[in-house]
């Protein structure tokens, strides 16, 4: 069933769906994430690296980039405001797996879910207000 229908149909459907949202610069997720990293870096007094669970911006590459800059204490900041096993946990588990194998000198601290933080809620509300005006 998987090979017969899903593997023939899904790539075509996915390509069509992605073509509707794709930007000239590339994947919206990658483009927005890189823009955010560039805005955060000047505000931080430590190197900031971007990594993703899938794709070319791998967690290993991100950790290597930090290691090459002498970073040993890493704050992992999953960009999901909520905690979910399917997203947050898999990212943290993958990072720990890579740390053990390739970067045992690193120490990780992970930023907790932030969906209920007042500053996050205010930023969301402000963003929504802008779109509701008029």
What's the pLDDT tens digit per position in 97-125?
Answer: 999 999 999 999 999 999 999 999 999 99
Q: Which residues pair with 76 in a beta bridge?
A: 110
| Other Cβ atoms within 10 Å of 8 Cβ, number | 10
Rounded-to-integer distance, Cα 66 and Cα 76, Å: 12
Q: Which CATH architecture has domain 51-134?
A: 3-Layer(aba) Sandwich (3.40)
Q: Return the beta strands (E) in 3-126 as ranges.
A: 73-76, 107-110
The residue extents of the domains of the chain are 1-43, 51-134
pLDDT digits (tens, 9 = 90+) for 7-39: 566 667 777 787 888 899 988 989 999 999 999
Read off the pLDDT of each residue in 61-72 and give the average, rounded to a whole number: 96
Q: Measured between alpha carbons, how far is residue 31 from residues 5, 25, 88, 97 in Å?
A: 32, 7, 21, 27
Q: Which of 79, 70, 78, 77 is nearest to 103 (CA)?
A: 70
pLDDT for residue 60: 97
Q: How far apart are CA 100 and CA 9, in angstroms?
A: 39
């Amino acid at each position: 069933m998987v090979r017969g229908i899903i593997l023939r149909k899904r790539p075509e459907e996915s390509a069509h769906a992605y073509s509707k949202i794709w930007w000239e610069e590339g994947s919206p997720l990658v483009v927005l994430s890189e823009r955010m990293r560039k805005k955060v870096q000047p505000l931080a007094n430590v190197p900031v690296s971007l990594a993703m669970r899938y794709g070319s911006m791998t967690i290993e590459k991100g950790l290597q980039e930090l290691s090459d800059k002498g970073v040993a204490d890493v704050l992992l900041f999953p960009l999901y405001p909520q905690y979910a096993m399917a997203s947050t946990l898999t990212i943290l588990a993958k990072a720990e797996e890579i740390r053990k194998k390739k970067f045992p000198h690193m120490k990780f601290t992970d930023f907790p879910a932030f969906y209920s933080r007042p500053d996050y809620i205010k930023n969301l509300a402000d963003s929504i207000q802008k779109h509701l005006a008029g």
